[in-house]
Structure 1
Amino acid sequence: MPTAAATALGLFATARLLGLAVVAGTAWGTGQRPFALLGRSWDSLWYLGIAAHGYGRTLYFRPTVIHSDLAFFPLYPALVRTVTTLTPLGGGAAGLLVAWCAAGVAACGLYAIGARLHGRAVGTALVLLWGLLPHSVVLSMAYTEPVLTALAAWSLYAVLSERWLWAGALAALAGLSRPNGFAVAAAVLAAAAHEIWRRRGRKVPHSLWTGAALAPLGWGGYVLWVGRRKGDPLGGYFTVQRLWGSRFDLGHGSLHFIRHLLLHGDRFVFPMTMVIVAAGVLLYALLIADRAPLPLLVYSGVLLLIALGGSGFFESKPRFLLPAFPLLLPLARALVRTARARPWHATVVVGALAGLSFAYGAYLVVVAHTPL
């Protein structure tokens, strides 16, 4: 591994280890077990259940609220099942191992993209900023966002370097990791379409066509499988999501909740969610102004659109945006410029981000008692 990449990965690991230490200290101080909170909470329990027993669990609350494990995509539980089969680790420990390894792979992918586009310093800053996001504690939990981000980063890197077969294959795997994983396929397809248009009148390599064809197969295959299992091939999966309370309504449900929040207030996690999502919109505008490559714009735009337009668990929106790492590119470039001109200012900024990230992460995991 090149020295600069190793430095970036080391900074990321340090940030997340310090964040884990704060979570652990807060948990022990309140009489709770940190690894149970990190490895066996909320969605983690559903994924671990699938890894141990396969699909088939359904909880009935009322006719319009039915929680089925079919809402959860299969790649992460399959990886957890592989680890528990090959090692003596239990489900929670295996889930954390998969997530932590995937976060490291994702950090390497972020560095590769940042370095390719703007140089090694920006690649390092991009990795550090991603590890210090307010909600980056999710990267230390048994959740699927690290897996999606790892596959997305390397798929997008493959697109930027015109390795279409790798791009399509990794996009297909990303589509098996999470419902919003189809953002990777959308980015690959948009880049492929642009390349075909650019080459009009000239021969298009077979690898491009094959990569584009592979990209949507993971997401589309799982959605169709769930639909067939529910007796409605095209709509069955979306019915499962709707019964969970998740649907795409162009943001109507979120706006209604924000109105309630502004009028009546609520727990700290909700206004913080609103601030993080608003920051994501601003960063996307900066990414467009920065003339970022098309696949990064499409990928981030789809993830942002899902977060803005989807209803359901409002407090989960920052987690849905966690894989949208290209949004951090303008900040990474600004941080590098600041570090070169005023190193002390950059140090203060990084320190403030670290303090916010570690404190808010401990709050989310230990104190908030709300679905992430």
Structure 2
Amino acid sequence: MRGVDLLQRRLLVCVVAAYLVLRIFSAVVMQLVASQQNPGFIFYSDNHQDYWLMTHVWDGRWYQTIVEQGYPSQLPEVGGVVQQNQWAFYPMYPGMVRLLMTLTGGSFAVVGSLLSLALGALAVGMMAVLVRDKVGPVVAFCVVCVFAASPPSPVLQMTYTESLGLVLLIGALLALQRGQWWPAGLAALATGLARPVAVPLGVVALVAVWLRWKGREERPIRRPEWIAMVGMLVSCGIAGGIWPAIAAWRTGVAGAYTDTMASWRSDGNIVYFQPWIANFDQLFGNGFMAGLLLTILILGFLLITIGPWADAMGPIMRTWLLAYAFYLLAVLDAWTSTYRYLLFMFPILIVFVGAGWKDQAQRLLVGWRTFIWVGLGLGWQVWWCWTLLVLRHSSGDPI
């Protein structure tokens, strides 16, 4: 009971403390992994291997290029085919890093990773509030612990945009959950320059407005609130197209963003839904088995999300899970980078720890489930770091 009282009174302190402890674990693993690196395969390597170099491998190199060189005014092409370039990466995070580097004189690796670490702490604090409002402080703490121990959680201290994206996403979801339309619109608008989540977030916004409209008889909607809701929906729409529009304006190529994104695909084309099928065929063989496993994955996710064991998370978080999962299925080239993208599906952890039932009497063994998931996450995290953060070749993009 004393622990429950502590969480009720000091929830934010507890979740941030747990987050930082788990980030220390990740830092130790990353330092150990650094000793296994081949210096010739690390971007900006000076033959010295340490934790800070580990924080900006893979996509971190692109953000460092943006900080140092900006975005190209012309798309790089070889034989008329657009090559990989900076326009695939949103500008808010590198802009923040560049500003802090100017103010502090620090290096990209140190400033970028510490910024991600700080934003991650802010994100888990906001996550705890979002979850607490639906299922209470104890479950909120459990969800944050499982999230912070999850296999891809080291990116929360790397030079990646996950931490920033989570702050803005959770801010928008929290505002929508509370019917605060203008803050939700501002957070959604900011995602347009930080992380490509505006499209599924727009679906959540539509559902939130629809739910408010359904309750208009009990709580009439006044004109200022109508204006705020419309403004919020417009912000979501702008967020979905602002970065592709900027890329087109700066390069003079209408499809600059999509052409750049397509350069990461093996065939140089973006075809909705097809990459999941192709990658499952590659992993499990063509035909029946790949289709069966993909079908089981989709049905299993729907069962977890839609069943009564997920009712307590509420319509906002549930809609986000469904909309974001559909978005990933449509546009993602499902591969090892999928690990990082799954961080944004954190509400599903409410179900994983057994706290998604509305009847609290049915929430059994939440503490033990949390303990098991944290242990599994830490073990899987070690595998993830050793498998995907050890660079064994100079091409590819595992994370």
TM-score when normalising by structure 2: 0.79
Given the alignment of the two structures, is residue 46 of structure 1 paired with residue 78 of structure 2, yes or no?
no
Could you report, residue by residue, the CA deviation over 1:18-63 in whole angstroms, capped at 9, with x for unpaired residues?
A: 0111121232355733311212x22211112212232117554554
Report the Cα offset of residue 340 of structure 1: 6.6
Which stretch shows the higher mean deviation, 207-216 or 316-325?
207-216
- Tell me: CA distance 1:203–1:19, structure 2 relative to 1, closer, same or farther (3 Å): same
Aligned mate of 2:25, from 15, 18, 24: 18
Superposition pairs of residues 232-311 of structure 1, within 5 angstroms: 233=254, 235-245=255-265, 249-263=271-285, 282-289=300-307, 290-291=310-311, 292-311=313-332
Superposition pairs of residues 1-372 of structure 1, within 5 angstroms: 2-28=9-35, 32-39=49-56, 41-56=57-72, 59-60=76-77, 63-199=80-216, 202-204=221-223, 205=225, 206-231=227-252, 233=254, 235-245=255-265, 249-263=271-285, 282-289=300-307, 290-291=310-311, 292-312=313-333, 314-334=335-355, 341=365, 347-366=371-390, 370-372=397-399
Could you report, residue by residue, the CA deviation over 1:142-194 in whole angstroms, capped at 9, with x for unpaired residues?
A: 10111111111121111111111111101111221122343333322331243
Which stretch shows the higher mean deviation, 174-183 or 136-145?
174-183
Structure 1: state its 5+ residue gaps: 265-270
The answer as to whether partners of 1:103 and 1:139 remain within 8 angstroms in 2 is: yes
Looking at structure 2, the residues matched to 279 and 327 of structure 1 have their Cα atoms a distance apart, in angstroms, of: 15
Report the Cα offset of residue 123 of structure 1: 0.5
- Tell me: CA distance 1:143–1:342, structure 2 relative to 1, closer, same or farther (3 Å): closer
Structure 2: state its 5+ residue gaps: 1-6, 39-48
- Tell me: CA distance 1:122–1:181, structure 2 relative to 1, closer, same or farther (3 Å): same
Looking at structure 2, the residues matched to 309 and 221 of structure 1 have their Cα atoms a distance apart, in angstroms, of: 20
The answer as to whether partners of 2:168 and 2:187 remain within 8 angstroms in 1 is: yes
Q: What secondary structure, in the 3-state scheme, does the structure 1 residue paired with 2:194 have?
A: coil
- Tell me: CA distance 1:343–1:128, structure 2 relative to 1, closer, same or farther (3 Å): closer
Name the residue aligned to 1:267: none
The answer as to whether partners of 1:27 and 1:366 remain within 8 angstroms in 2 is: yes
Paired residues in the alignment total 362
Looking at structure 1, the residues matched to 247 and 198 of structure 2 have their Cα atoms a distance apart, in angstroms, of: 16
| Cα RMSD for the two superposed structures | 3.3
Which stretch shows the higher mean deviation, 104-113 or 129-138?
129-138
Looking at structure 2, the residues matched to 247 and 337 of structure 1 have their Cα atoms a distance apart, in angstroms, of: 51
Could you report, residue by residue, the CA deviation over 1:301-360 in whole angstroms, capped at 9, with x for unpaired residues?
A: 232223223354622122122222122221134599999748666534432332222332
Over alpha carbons, which structure has the higher Rg?
2
- Tell me: CA distance 1:150–1:279, structure 2 relative to 1, closer, same or farther (3 Å): farther
Report the Cα offset of residue 230 of structure 1: 4.1
Which stretch shows the higher mean deviation, 60-69 or 150-159?
60-69
TM-score when normalising by structure 1: 0.85
- Tell me: CA distance 1:60–1:192, structure 2 relative to 1, closer, same or farther (3 Å): same
